[in-house]
Amino acid sequence: MKTKLLLIILPLLLSICGCASFTKANIQIAKNETDKFNGNRIIETKTCQLCFHNTDLGTKHNTLYLCLRKVNNLYSIPVNIGLAEVEKYVDGSGIPFLLDNGESVVLNSSYTGIGAERDPLGGDTHFFNTTLMLSDSDVDILSSHKITDVRIRYLGGTTDMSVAEKRQDMLMTMFKVIEGQK
């Protein structure tokens, strides 16, 4: 009984603490190096949670974690998508981001990990990894507008997640942090 209660409460507490502690100062560089094999300059931020939505008392949730990566002059966004009880993310479907100006930007995924990984904390959420590729026009608009909502398409439907107001400028801040690197 105690274990079941812990499995319900722990993810809820972690999400509350994560939301409460998020600040722009938390966005830091995780990698800043030159690849010794090909000479590519790689800069990447630490991964942050953009949105989170509980679908029950804490064991099932939809979430999206992301970081920003720049290799030479090309940007991408590696994402980790968590979906409650969904085991099939639609590969190549793209992820639409709704911006504060009402515009929607659809970012296409370059690949998806095979199958879904179960929540390591014992919940019913399934996680998928992919990388969203950014064009120059995507960089221009995402570096200057807040993200208010995200839609995840999966086999059989979609799920929409709102982005908390304090997290809406997260990607804009990531661009600024990467551009500040020498």
Which tens digits make up the pLDDT trace of 63-118? 899 999 999 999 999 999 888 867 666 666 789 999 999 999 999 887 655 556 66
Sign of CA dihedral 174, 31, 140, 152: negative
Residues in CB range of 17: below 8 A, 6 or more apart = none
pLDDT at 103: 97
pLDDT at 15: 41
- In the chain, the domains with their CATH numbers are 2-179 (2.60.40)
pLDDT beyond 50 at 11: no
Residues in CB range of 146: below 8 A, 6 or more apart = 99, 100, 163, 168, 169, 172
- Whole-model pTM: value is 0.82
pLDDT at 78: 95
